[in-house]
Structure formats: C-alpha cells, structure tokens
Amino acid sequence: MPPHDSILARAALGTAHALGKACRWCARRRFEVAPAAASASLTGLSWLHHVDGVSLPEHGVYGLATLAAGALAAGGLKHKHKALATAGAGSTAVMADAWVGAALGPSVPSLIASALVTGGAYAAYVPWLVRSRRDQLALQVKAAKAGVAAEGLGTNTLAPGLTGATREETALMQALVAMLSVPAVDVTALEYTRFGWRAVIVLPPGRDTSPHKVIARRDQLATNLGLPGKLRLAKGEHDNELVAYLYESDPLASPIPWPGPSTRTCTEPAVLGVDAYGQPVLIPLLYNHTLIGGATDNGKSGVQSVLIAYAVACEDAEALLIDMKPGAVEFGPWRRSALALADTPSRAMQLLKTVWAEVERRGALLAELGEKKWIPGKHGPAWFVFIDELAELIRRVPAAAKLIESLLQVARFVGITLVCATQSPSNRVFGGSTDGRQQYQVRIGLGAKESTTSNLIFGPGAYGDGWCLDELDLAGKFLRWDREHQEPVDARAYWMTEDDVAATSHRYAREEESTEAREHPEPSPDPDDDPTPPSRPTPPSGGPGGGRPLLRAVPTFPDGSEIADERHAALWQAIEKAGPRGITVDDLVALDLPQFAARSSVNGPLGQWRRKGWVEEAGKHGRAMAFRTAPRLPVAKVPTAVEDSESVTIGG
C-alpha cells in the first residue's frame, strides 16, 4: 500500500490540475459565464448580509429600491421605451433576489429567486451577445480581406468570442475566422514546447472547413496568424480536428552526430534520430518491413547507414545488402560486416532467391518444432535485407518484383525483414500484381518536391493529412509513420561520417575464415566495453642504414588470422602464457594491461573468443573460473559478397 504522504501528494496534484482546467475553461468562456457569475455573486453577498443580521431600516431600504425599480419598469412600458422598461425589469428582479437572500439566507426560496434572475439575465444577454459577435465577425472579415488589421480599426472590432486565454490562442482563432469566415468551435490542448507551441483545433461544420481544406491553405493561415516561426498543420484524431504546430526556432537545424550503437539485440528498436520535441525516434525493425523514400540528396543514405549499423551491431542479427549503384558505393563500406553483398542485377536476383530458400528452410524448421514465430537468439539470427535503389532493381530485373512481393508477404514470421529504399517511388515499384506497399509497417519519408511522393509513401490522401515532405528543408529530416505514430512530427536522422561507417564496419567485421552465421547470443558486456581497434601501425621501411626491412613475428589467432589490435594481442598472449592451467579474469586485470584494467573491459574480447571456440574453461581457481586457449581447426571462407552471377552461398 502506498505511503500516506504519497496519497496526499497525488490528491493535491489532482486537485490542482482540476482547478487549473476549470480556471482555464472559465477564462476562455468568460463572456458566456458572466451573467451566472454575477447572479451567484449577488446571492452570496445577500447571504453574507443575512449572517450579519438585517435590521428593520435595512429592510426598508431593500423595499424602497425594489419599488423604485418597479416604477422605472412601469414608466418604460407606459411610454413604450424598451430600454427603460428592460432596465427597470432587470433591476426589480435583482433587488428582489437580494432582498429575499438577505431576509431568508441560504434557503430554497433564495435559490429559486437566484435561478429566476439568472434565467432572465440570459434571456436578455444571449441575443445581444450573438448579435454583437455576428456584427463584429463580419467587420473583422471585411478588414482582413481589405488588408487592414482588426486592431487598426479600434479595439471594439475584436469580437468577444475570438479572445482566447493566451496570445497564441487569440491569434489562432482570429486567423481562422479571417480565412474561414466562421469561428472555430474550440481550441484545446495548447502546449508550449522548447521550440514553440502545439494546439488542437476543433473546426466548425461547413463546406470548406475540413482539416484537408485548411491544410491546403496553410500559407494563408500562416500569413493571417502573424506570429514568427514556421507553421505546420496535420489532421487530428477526429475528423473535425486540426493539429497546429508553430516552431519559433528550428530544433533540427544542426546535424546530430551519431552516438554509436544503442543495443546489441534486434529485439530492441533501432534509434534512428531525434524528433522536434527532443525525443529519440525508435524504429522497430524486427518483424516490420520498412520503406524509405525521398528525393536525391535528402539523406536517404544516412538513414540506411544508421539502420545497417544497428543490424551489424546486434549479436542476434545478420545484414544482407543489395546495392544497385555501380560499384556498390553506398553499401560497399559495409562489406566486411555484412553476411552478403550483391552489387549487380544477377547477383541481386541470386541473393533474393537465397533469401527465399532461407524462408522455406526456416518455415520447415518452425513446423518441425511446432512453433509459429522465429525468435532471434532462440532459433537463430534475424536477417535484415537492405535494398538500395529499389526502383532501379525492378527496372533492371523485372522478375525481382514478384520475389520481393512474396518476401514482403511471408518473410516476417521467420525473422526476415526487408528494408527498401528508393528515390523514385511508384505503383510499379511497390509490387508486381498487388500493391506491396501495404506490407511496409514502417515508412520513412525524406524531403521531396512533389506532393505525390507523400501519397506514394504514406498512402493516398497523406499529403492532405499533413504528411508534407516538401516542407522538409534539410538533408536528414524525415517523417516517420508506423502503428504507434499516426501524426506527422518532424525528425532528423543521426549523421554518420565516413569515418564512423568505416570504424563501425571494422569493429563488427565478420571473421574472414568463418562460415557459420551468428549463434545464440550469450550474455555480453556493454557495447562500450569492446573498444574500437585503432588503425594498424605502419611497419618500418627498413633496417639500420636503410638496409633489409626488420621483420617481426605477427601474433595470430588459432585459425591463422592476424591479431591486428595490439591491445587484444597482449591479452591473448597473457592467456597463452598461462598454459593448460588457465588464468582467471581477476588475474588478467591484475596484469594491468593497457585498456584492460577492469573486469568489464576483459569480458568483452574474452566472451567473443569463447563463442568462437578459441578460449575454453580450464576449471575453477578457488571460486573464479579460469580460461585457457584452445586450438581450433580452420574452416571454409564465408562470402562477404556474391562471388558470381550464378550462385550465392551464405553461411548458416
């Protein structure tokens, strides 16, 4: 049970929140609640007078005032003076209410008198309010069409119904009236952010008042708004709701450096970048085919690089790459860390056939196990198939369209996900006989000049709903759509430099002599514990006097591959020197080797070598497990690229 203080604190916060909402509602509806507030105040004052006691002379004053008001009403009726009669009748009701309240105090008669007075006040007040608003709205619309600000005509032209609780709300309501000629039903959920504000507008019924119509006239609304900043509009949750964003400053103006891999398992989403609210953009790649579209030079390659870095860093995933640009200029740097790379049409087709064969193999395995879904780490690694220039692939290999369509339909349940990118989206690109676009559960749109691009990526009518890619003005800015994000919010992808790509590919490079796909991942240390190896030192050009070059023995792993990292070489040699008896992690830390002064830093490479079979357990020294080197037979080479146009061989 929560502590008593915690319950009180939550109750206080809830009460304060409710009071705040009530006060804000009253502030925004102050013209509508004015008669009721005045009547309630009058009744309360009369009850207070009753508590203090009402003397006989004071009763006489109440009576004389009531009679005088009644006489004024009678005179107005007699002389057919409407304003005088109305004022007299209203004053009579008010004085009678005050007299009853002062005489009887809180009682049923007093409440009845107060209700009658309130009703009479509204009967006279509402027609005036409606007429006043109509006249003032008409004047303001005429002023806006004539190019004259309403303030320039005097404060009387500002309609009471167009004055919000804040400056931004007032400006938004008046801008909508100037454009639609009718006021908005309501402006709710006005929230301030670090870069501006956001509001939800309930639009009135009418012929041209739908969210699509207003979004199409965004420039006019921005002009009428007259506030500094960039206005973005989107359709809200309901058909009559419009969401307005005003960015007073651009939170995404500067490139955002890539912080490095965020996870080592593909069961967690990839972090693609940061949105305009400063929140990380999470992309659930596993089991969700992803479409990336946008015009050239808008950051499509950068988005792919971040997602590939995520895939190669995951211990329970493999990346397969198809790059249709000559020379594989986009995916070529990832060759060492990818399971396979196809860079020609024939190789791409063979790779797709290999992926389909893997789908069938995994499906048969799941059927044999009696399970319905491939779980990375339990059944084997997930495959992420990245395709760059999808439109070019379909143009040069038309038969690939049907194969990709089939993979989009059935590959998800066996842990194989397609991530397709194109700068020329079209109906032909998205499928052979059906629209394969429906199978992309995650869609990422980058900058584009034509509105049709938005509709092709996000679906028919997306541009009218606010998915406007032509408003993304910087490379790397994008809009993201998935099941949990149905509202367009500006975001920007992390920026990976060429050095970042090279270092990441080197760090997660596949062993050149290994043929096995990644096995079930064991508990591993934090990614930061596996330091990025430095570049290999340049060997000396010659011996003393410029003679014969000095040759040194190069340390190698059991499979014969060179240990390029000097820090890892020192750690490996320490384990070798321990002999069959082995050495514990604490003893390795005690050696004070460079970069290995903590258990976590030693566990990183040690865990990798154990998974490869190069290091094995040698028994316990006290309570700690010791480790020793173990010989390992060399195995066949795994292809990092498709070797020819006839076949594709992939490990696992």
List, as residue ranges, the binding site for ATP: 294-301
Rounded to whole angstroms, the Cα distance separating 525 from 531 reads 12
Rounded to whole angstroms, the Cα distance separating 322 from 387 reads 5
- Proportion of the chain in helix, strand, coil states, percent, rounded to 5: 45, 15, 35
Q: Where are the alpha helices (DSSP H) in 274-344?
A: 300-313
Sheet of 615-621: strand order equals 583-584, 624-629, 615-621
Nearest alpha carbon to residue 178 among 209, 221, 217, 215: 221
Given a contact cutoff of 8 angstroms between Cβ atoms, the answer to whether 446 and 469 are in contact is yes
Would you list which residues are annotated within the binding site?
294-301
Amino acid at residue number 133: R
SS3 call for 153? helix
Rounded to whole angstroms, the Cα distance separating 541 from 547 reads 9
**Beta strands 382-388 and 416-422: pairing type?**
parallel
DSSP 647: -
Strand partners, 318: 383
Strands (E), 138-229: 186-193, 196-202
| Tokens matching residue 265 | 């398992």
Nearest alpha carbon to residue 558 among 628, 487, 473, 458: 628
Given a contact cutoff of 8 angstroms between Cβ atoms, the answer to whether 199 and 206 are in contact is no
Burial, 146: exposed, middle or buried (Cβ in 10 Å; 0-12, 13-18, 19+)?
A: exposed
| Tokens matching residue 123 | 């009967």
- One DSSP character per residue, 559-593 reads TS-B---HHHHHHHHHHHHTGGG-EEHHHHHHTTB
Strand partners, 380: 376
Given a contact cutoff of 8 angstroms between Cβ atoms, the answer to whether 71 and 135 are in contact is no
SS3 call for 148? coil
Rounded to whole angstroms, the Cα distance separating 234 from 240 reads 11
Query: How far is CA 46 from each of CA 37, 89, 239, 418, 634, rounded to the nearest angstrom?
Result: 14, 20, 48, 76, 100
Q: Which residue has the tokens 């690089």?
A: 305
Q: Dihedral sign for Cα 37, 39, 43, 45, please.
A: positive
Given a contact cutoff of 8 angstroms between Cβ atoms, the answer to whether 334 and 308 are in contact is yes
Q: Which residue has the tokens 């950051």?
A: 299
Amino acid at residue number 627: F
Angle between helices 108-145 and 30-52 (to 10 degrees): 150
**Beta strands 317-323 and 624-629: pairing type?**
unpaired
